[in-house]
């Protein structure tokens, strides 16, 4: 029997939610399918600036695989914050096994054969978000919580006989086949590698390039892509122990979102900022519209704020829309019940932020 899922199926689905990260999605899709069919698959470390889509991507994969009833015996997938692992003092990853166990019962059924549930745990997929928060040292001093958490994960990755208690029984599982996908922003890693690149410590220093927006505005940027410069050494220095970091055979660096990606994120995905706002106005019988120029201006403004990623969209849009939200129907100028966000409104919101004259109402 053919396996009912191809990497392309995952890729196409995730792309509906996650914009501008196609290479990363492809690579993750392949790793997931390898794991699901029982072939060796690399653990993945996902590095990307804040607001580049790491959490969104993990959520989308979790949602999609969990929704596939035909994969019940294969796709036991859980997502947790790395901090949860730091809470364990002597647990050594049992919290992870506990989650997989609960999830397996939910999927396969409470009364299912215990062997089937344990097999599902041993074949689990674990997403660890904010893995950069479990550094082994922070500014030169050891960070006990981080060390504990890395140890816990390493124990799971290496061990063929891990004991854990559930439902009044002690189970022994081989956790070495669990697939781990960990993600984090690694802020300072970005800074330090960028510094190396701009000073030109081991390569020619970066030269700025000129970027022109769709509406003709101009700025200078350094064409820096972390993935071009990143070494395992940088990750060790950041505070991931070599034993732990080297367990991630695949390191994927997400793209910084460009203006075009940002405007798509603003309108396209289900639950996008604009769709959500439209829904709000709809409740008061108001049809919210946006001009092409306004959309471009919002994306351009957000793309200037590099370290916020797509989160910058929310910040600028809130400035544009808050007065209209306060009194939705008064916002319509005529009987048409249409409110249009135009470029002038966006420019004004940007200018008032820049001059610090935005009044808090």
Instruction: Give the footprint of ligand ADP on this chain (CB under 6 A).
Output: 18-21, 48, 50-56, 257, 265, 269, 309-311
Q: Nearest 5 degrees, angle CA 323-CA 326-CA 332?
A: 75
Residue 309 Cβ, how far from ligand ADP at the closest point, in Å? 6
- Alpha carbon separation from 83 to 59, 80, 185, 275 (Å, rounded): 17, 8, 14, 32
Among 49, 55, 175, 255, binds Mg ion (CB under 5 A): 55
- The smaller minimum CB distance to Mg ion, of residues 55 and 263, is found at 55
Closer to ligand ADP by CB, 102 or 188: give it: 188
Interaction of residue 29 with Mg ion, rule CB under 5 A: no
- We find the least distance from the C-beta atom of residue 49 to Mg ion, in angstroms, to be 10
Residue 51, contacted partner among Mg ion, ligand ADP, none, CB below 5-8 A by kind: ligand ADP
| Bridge partners (DSSP) listed for residue 182 | 45, 128
Q: How far is CA 57 from CA 12, 61, 64, 316, in A?
A: 13, 6, 11, 23
Distance of closest approach, residue 165 Cβ to Mg ion, in angstroms? 31
Residue 46 vs 297, nearer CB to Mg ion: 46
Q: Is 49 in the site for Mg ion (CB under 5 A)?
A: no
What is the closest distance, in whole angstroms, from the C-beta atom of residue 33 to ligand ADP in the complex?
Answer: 21
Q: Are 226 and 190 in contact (CB under 8 A)?
A: yes
Q: Which is nearer to ligand ADP, 162 or 254 (CB)?
A: 254
Closest to ligand ADP by CB, 90 or 270: 270
Which range touches Mg ion (CB under 5 A), out of 22-30, 50-58, 197-205, 218-226?
50-58
Distance CA 4, CA 255 (A): 30
Q: Does 56 bind Mg ion (CB under 5 A)?
A: no
Cα 95 from Cα 93, distance rounded (Å) = 5
Could you give the CA distance from residue 217 to residue 297 in angstroms, rounded to a whole number?
Answer: 10
- The partner in contact with residue 107, picked from Mg ion, ligand ADP, none with C-beta cut-offs of 5 to 8 angstroms by kind, is none
Contact status, residue 118 vs residue 132, Cβ threshold 8 Å: no
How many whole angstroms separate alpha carbon 263 and alpha carbon 273? 10
User: What does the alpha-carbon distance between residue 138 and residue 150 come to, in Å, rounded to a whole number?
Assistant: 14
d(CA 313, CA 309): 8
Closest CA to 179 of 104, 124, 229, 131: 124
| Cα 275–Cα 16–Cα 103 angle in degrees, nearest 5 | 105
Residue 263 binds Mg ion (CB under 5 A): no
Our finding on whether 277 is near Mg ion (CB under 5 A) is: no
Stretch that binds Mg ion, among 51-59, 87-95, 206-214, 333-341 (CB under 5 A): 51-59
Q: Which residue is nearest to ligand ADP (CB)?
A: 53
Among residues 132 and 234, whose Cβ is nearest to ligand ADP?
132
In the complex, which residues of this chain contact Mg ion (CB under 5 A)? 54-55
């Amino acid at each position: 029997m053919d396996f009912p899922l191809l990497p392309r199926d995952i890729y196409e689905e995730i792309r509906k939610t996650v914009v501008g990260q196609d290479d990363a999605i492809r690579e993750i899709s392949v790793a997931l399918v390898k794991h699901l069919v029982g072939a060796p698959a690399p653990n993945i470390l996902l590095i990307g600036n804040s607001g580049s889509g790491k959490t969104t991507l993990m959520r989308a994969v979790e949602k999609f695989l969990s929704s596939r009833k035909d994969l019940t015996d294969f796709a036991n997938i859980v997502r947790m914050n790395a901090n949860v692992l730091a809470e364990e003092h002597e647990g050594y990853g049992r919290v992870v096994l506990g989650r997989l166990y609960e999830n397996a019962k939910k999927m396969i059924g409470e009364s299912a054969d215990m062997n089937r549930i344990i097999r599902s745990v041993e074949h689990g997929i674990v997403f660890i978000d904010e893995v950069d928060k479990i550094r082994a040292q922070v500014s030169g001093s050891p960070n006990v919580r981080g060390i504990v958490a890395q140890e816990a994960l390493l124990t799971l990755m290496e061990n063929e006989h891990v004991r854990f208690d559930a439902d009044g029984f002690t189970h022994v599982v081989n956790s070495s086949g669990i697939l781990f996908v960990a993600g984090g922003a690694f802020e300072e890693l970005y800074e330090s590698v960028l510094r190396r690149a701009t000073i030109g410590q081991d390569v020619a220093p970066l030269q700025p390039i000129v970027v022109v927006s769709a509406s003709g505005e101009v700025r200078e940027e350094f064409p820096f892509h972390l993935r071009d410069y990143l070494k395992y050494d940088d990750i060790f220095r950041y505070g991931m122990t070599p034993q732990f970091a080297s367990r991630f055979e695949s390191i994927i660096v997400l793209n910084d979102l460009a203006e075009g990606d940002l405007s798509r994120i603003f309108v396209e995905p289900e639950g996008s900022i604009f769709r959500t706002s439209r829904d709000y106005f709809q409740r008061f019988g108001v049809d919210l519209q946006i001009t092409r120029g306004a959309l471009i201006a919002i994306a351009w403004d957000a793309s200037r704020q590099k370290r916020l990623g797509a989160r910058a969209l929310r910040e600028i849009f809130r400035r544009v829309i808050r007065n209209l939200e306060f009194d939705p129907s008064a916002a319509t100028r005529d009987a048409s019940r249409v409110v249009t966000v135009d470029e002038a409104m966006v420019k004004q919101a940007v200018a008032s932020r820049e001059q610090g004259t935005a009044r808090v109402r």
